Amino acid sequence: MVVPSVVTRQSEIQAVVSAVERELAPEVVRIRYEITTDWSGDWAIFFRIVLSDAATQGRRLRQITTKVREEINTRLAPLHLGVLTYFNFRSVKEQEELREEAWA
């Protein structure tokens, strides 16, 4: 199995993630990610984004999720990582109820 360069560029990816997290606060509470293969065996980055409870209400949810996707994809594009990106979102309240460590 060929390992993509994305695996060795995690410090650059983390810098992008941290910048997006800071710039989109307080709506974006935190962003975590994992680099692994998807269901079809393709390499991918799976993003787990926790949003403020207020950001998940009404039209704001679509606006902020679109903005997060656009910012991350745009900023990662110059790195030519050659992987797919997947995004999962949940609210602070959902995370408190589910208490999944990978999202913490």
- Domains (ranges, CATH) in the chain? 5-103 (3.30.70.1350)
Q: Of all helices (H) and strands (E), which one includes residue 72?
A: helix 59-76
Tens of pLDDT, residues 32-78: 999 999 999 989 999 999 999 999 999 999 999 999 999 999 999 87
What is the pTM (predicted TM-score) of this model?
Answer: 0.91
What are the tokens at 33? 């990610």
**CB within 8 Å of 49: residues ≥ 6 apart:** 28, 30, 31, 32, 65, 68, 87, 88, 89, 90
